[in-house]
Chains A and B, each alone.
Chain A
Amino acid sequence: MSIPNPSIYETLVGLTHDFDIEPRLAESWEFVEPNTWRFTLRQGVLFHDGTPFTAEAVAWTLARVAAAGGRTMKIGDDSVAIIDDFTVEVTPAEQNVLLPLQLTSPRDGSIMAPGTLNPEVRIGTGPFKEVEYVAGERHVVEAFADYWGTKAGLAKLTFRYMPDPTTRMLALQAGDVDIVFDVPRESASLLTGADGRRLVTSAVGAYHSLSFNIHGQAPYDLGQDPVIREAVSISIDREAIINGGWQGFAATNNTMVPEGVLRDAVSLVTGPVYDPERAAQILDDAGWVVGSGGTRAKDGRPLRLTMIVGYPSAEIHRPMPELVQAQLSEVGIELELVQTPDVGSYSARLTSLEGDLWAELGNQVDADPCYLPGALFYSPIEGASAEDNSYANAFAPGAEFDAYIDSCGTAASIEDAQIAAASAMRLLIDEQHIVIPIAGVIRLYGVADRVQGFEPHPVQFVERWEHVTVTGD
């Protein structure tokens, strides 16, 4: 199975468009000292097969998380206690004030009917129930008449798989489909002012960033030099990339974690400020002298970096790599671009640390402010393989950063956890220049004018469809 479809499955705690949390299958929750979360479940909820939703389903769902090692929720084998049919207590193996935020994740938090993992028909409690799933072709769902909340506005909803973005655009233009996902940014202008269809955008829920390999061996060891990292970070004109390269269909951001997740703590991170003159000056001061070909060199070694582009695909980053290449050349830094054909090749290259700068697009999938920085930049796990530690081996700054992440789970409040996450990002971005946030990713959708009520969630994985209607049907 892949990430559960949020039309079919629901979580205990919902994630709003503003990254707030709201009651979903849990009506309320409270923290019980020293380390227990008590959830009061919604009554009168039915699974699509007619069986009632009770605490047993929560225990079964969280047992799967425990079996997978507990993940960031830190769920252990004995963490869940059923108090009665509609009351569950969850005691993580370690203190975890972020549990309700993490339960918004559809990956681990989707409540399934007990014993129905990988069934022929997916059975959840959501506003739509599954009718047909054909891998690589379509997923058909229909309104669930006994849904506990707002009933779906559409009788039937078909998700079709069209891997080619141009085909998706043409299908919308032809009227074959009503909504297309992931409109290419270079095609977005075709939808502004178009007859019968429009461009709809989400808030920022993902990021484009560059990360420096700070632990590489020659020839990929230049990222160990903080002067070079700082020079690169302030040589990149992010506004030019967003407005010129992506025609404004991205947003300025100073961290990898969306502002909505970090809240007020986002102000702790200022982000790199474009200043090529200063970049040239600090490189001059460090002995990197411009040579006859325009590339700087020091002790006979040219200032030549390699950027690896390929996560989750090379296409998704265009034309950012070429623009960065041109901007760096202005200050005498030569940048070689390497595009990997797929994620497997990218991961293998990262494991062998063959590259200086790594371009990635990543998603926020829940309201946990500490998940992304912790997953990508925490120090290597002792005894784990090179592949398991690939991100840490390349990017991890060390003990100070780890301390911020460690403090997330034991924070006194969610606000304190947000401050800890922002502090970790400040260390990465402002102080050590390991990460260069390029832009916040705005999801672009092409929508037929006859579709109403579609307000895309910044996190695509939790998109819900019950409010969508189609006129003329």
Chain B
Amino acid sequence: MGRYLLRRLLYLAPVWLGVSIIAFGLANLAPGDPARLMLQNQLGLQPTPEEVARARDELGLDDPIIVRYARWLGSALTGDLGTSYRNGESVLGGLVERFPRTLQIAVLSMVFTVVFALPLGVVSAVHRNSPLDHMTRVLALLGAAIPSYVVAYVLILVFAVKLHLLPVAGRGSWQHLILPSVTLALAAMASMMRLTRSEMLDVLGQDYVRTSRAKGLSDRAVYLRHAFRNALIPVVTIAGLRFAGLLGGAVIVEMIFAWPGIGMFMLDAIFARDYPVIQGFVIFMGTVFILVNLVIDISYAWLDPRIRYAGT
């Protein structure tokens, strides 16, 4: 296992390099001059040619792209992702400040998802074609069909405007976490519930489940100890990837709830052509994705002891 982990971590290097090239290339190919946009943002009006020329010089934007990439990569290797064109803020500092905010709502939404979707998926499969099954399937369909921004507005209208139980938007207390997390969770619940149900149905038809029943095991033991655990492998994969996606910033939800997470950070950077932030974000999230996938892979061995890793 140790060698496996080490090898997977070493894979980070080429992935980082590839991601950095893509990030740098895409950011620099996007139309719009970052110096001009920076000045427009600062001044509120069109900058003069002299101001644009001075800003381009200060930002090093007149150097060839290869030179700029090499300069940026050299700094990034030492942990310096540069500074934002817009406000001079450290990119790494900005990411480190905003990432935990997104992590908060991502984790809470996954907790909601797991707590509600998995049991409902299991119960739905166990009681196939029952009224409960029909109801959960309809709920899952609705959850998948309704866009998250509609869910967000309905939740705000009910819980903030009508009932005054929760704040509409912003950050500052635990109450601010609830609505964005539930909005994200409702969308995830639908797919997780359906996936859990279908995997459970598949596993419940397997020979070893019939054997377990023939041996006289209780339904509870069959469902939870044998069926559910095996059904979890694809569910964990999807849940992990979704979680990683949430960590990249749920932009729509962050915008609606004025949640200053990493998604808004990236969106603002794209609009401003803030190359250092865009590049730093992509590298940062590439790393997060790789690490989340690693955790998913490791969890397979725990869920199914037959799964072993080369080198262990």
Contact = CB atoms under 8 A, between A and B. Distances in A.
Interface of A: 1-3, 68-69, 71, 107, 118, 134-138, 160-164, 166-167, 170-171, 173-176, 342-345, 347-349, 363, 365, 375-376, 381, 384-385, 387-388, 391, 461
Given A343-B37, A344-B271, A365-B45, A176 B167 contact: yes
Interface stretch (B135-143, B184-192, B218-226, B251-259): B251-259
A1 B42 contact: yes
B169 A375 contact: no
A349 B45 contact: no
5 contacts: A136-B260, A160-B258, A170-B157, A342-B271, A344-B272
A343 B271 contact: yes
Given A137-B170, A170-B161, A163 B258 contact: yes
The 8 A-B residue pairs whose C-beta atoms are closest, nearest first, are A344-B32, A348-B31, A388-B49, A384-B49, A171-B168, A162-B258, A174-B161, A69-B50
B309 to A, nearest CB: 43
B153 A343 contact: no
B173 interface: no
B126 to A, nearest CB: 40
B81 interface: no
Contacts of A176: 160, 167-170
A384 B36 CA distance: 13
Contacts of B256: 164, 166-167
B211 to A, nearest CB: 55
Size class of the contact patch on chain B: 35 or more
B164 interface: yes
A234 B87 CA distance: 45
B153 A170 contact: yes
B48 interface: yes
Nearest to A388: B49
B197 interface: no
Contact of B31 (A135, A170, A349): A349
A69 B51 contact: yes
A135 B258 CA distance: 12
A167 B30 contact: no
Contacts of A175: 164
Given A71-B48, A136-B260, A176-B168, A348 B32 contact: yes
Given A137-B171, A137-B260, A160-B170, 4 more contacts: A170-B153, A342-B270, A344-B37, A344-B272
Contacts of B89: 135
Contacts of A388: 49, 52
Interface in B150-165: 153, 156-157, 160-161, 164
B49 A381 contact: yes
A375 B44 CA distance: 13
Contacts of B31: 344-345, 347-349
B44 A3 contact: yes
A427 to B, nearest CB: 21
Contact of B36 (A3, A69, A375, A387): A387
B194 interface: no
B156 A167 contact: yes
A69 B32 CA distance: 23
Contacts of A135: 87, 89
Contacts of A138: 170
Nearest to B32: A344
A375 B168 contact: no
A87 to B, nearest CB: 29
A4 to B, nearest CB: 10
Given A68-B48, A170-B153, A343-B40, A136 B264 contact: yes
User: Among the interface residues B43, B52, B153, B167, which one has the most CB atoms of the partner chain A within 10 A?
Assistant: B43
Interface in B27-84: 30-33, 36-37, 40-46, 48-52
A2 B44 contact: yes
Interface string B261-274: 00011001011110
A167 B257 contact: yes
Nearest to B272: A344
Given A137-B171, A161-B258, A344 B164 contact: no
A112 to B, nearest CB: 14
Given A170-B168, A174-B160, A345-B31, A107 B271 contact: no
Contacts of A164: 169, 255-256, 258
Given A167-B156, A344-B273, A381-B49, A461 B168 contact: no
Contacts of B164: 174-175
Contacts of B49: 381, 384-385, 388
Contacts of B50: 68-69
Given A2-B42, A162-B169, A170-B161, A69 B48 contact: yes
Interface in B176-229: none
Contacts of A345: 30-32
Nearest to B88: A118
A173 B268 contact: no
A345 B45 CA distance: 17
A387 B44 contact: no
Contacts of A162: 169-170, 258
A136 to B, nearest CB: 5
A3 to B, nearest CB: 5
Contacts of A170: 153, 156-157, 160-161, 168
Interface string B93-134: 000000000000000000000000000000000000000000
A107 B161 contact: no
A371 to B, nearest CB: 8
Given A69-B51, A174-B161, A176-B160, A347 B36 contact: yes
A468 B157 CA distance: 28
A192 B73 CA distance: 56
A351 to B, nearest CB: 9
Contacts of A163: 255, 258, 264
A343 B33 CA distance: 10
Contacts of A375: 45-46
Contacts of B264: 136, 163
A415 to B, nearest CB: 25
Given A69-B48, A71-B48, A387-B52, A167 B258 contact: yes
